[in-house]
Copies of this chain bind each other. A is one copy, B any other.
C-alpha cells in the first residue's frame, strides 16, 4: 500500500479540529514529512472531493464534509486508487486446454474468492469514520490533544 495513505489519514484526523484552511506545508512540518510529496497526496484528496482547497494568501485545505461522513475507505481509495488489487486476466480462456466461452458466463471460483476477500477488506474500512478515529485519539492520548494541535497549526511558531 502507498506510504502516503498513512499521511493522508493523519491529515484528515487533525483537520477535524480546525475551521480555517491549513496549508500543505504546515501539515508536512507537523508530521516531518516531505512537503512536496504530501502536497501531492492532498491534491488526490481534493480530486476525490474529500477536502476543499482554497487558494490565495491564507489558503489551504479544509474537510469538505462532516468527519462522521468520511470513511477510512474513502481516504484509502483516494490515494491508492479504487481499482481492486486482484484483476483476472482470463487465462483460463487461453492455451491448449482453454475453457470454452460458453462456460465463462459466471465469474470463476478463483476470482469470486478474491472478490470476496476484497469486499471484506472494504467493509472493514468502510465501518470506520474519521470522526470515530478522532474520538479514539482523544480518548487514548488525553482530551484536548487535537485542540492543542489545532492551535499549533494556526500559530506561526515551530
Dominant SS at the A interface? helix
What is the total number of residues of chain A having a CB less than 8 Å from a CB of chain B?
54
Give the residue among A32, A113, A136 with the most B Cβ atoms within 10 A: A113
Supply 12 further A-B pairs (C-beta < 8 A) apart from A9-B110, A108-B137, A120-B124: A6-B86, A6-B89, A13-B110, A33-B91, A96-B152, A97-B148, A97-B149, A108-B140, A113-B133, A116-B128, A118-B121, A120-B121
Name 17 interchain pairs, CB-CB below 8 A, sorted by A: A1-B86, A3-B89, A5-B86, A6-B86, A6-B89, A6-B91, A30-B96, A72-B117, A97-B152, A99-B145, A103-B140, A108-B140, A109-B132, A109-B140, A117-B125, A120-B120, A121-B124
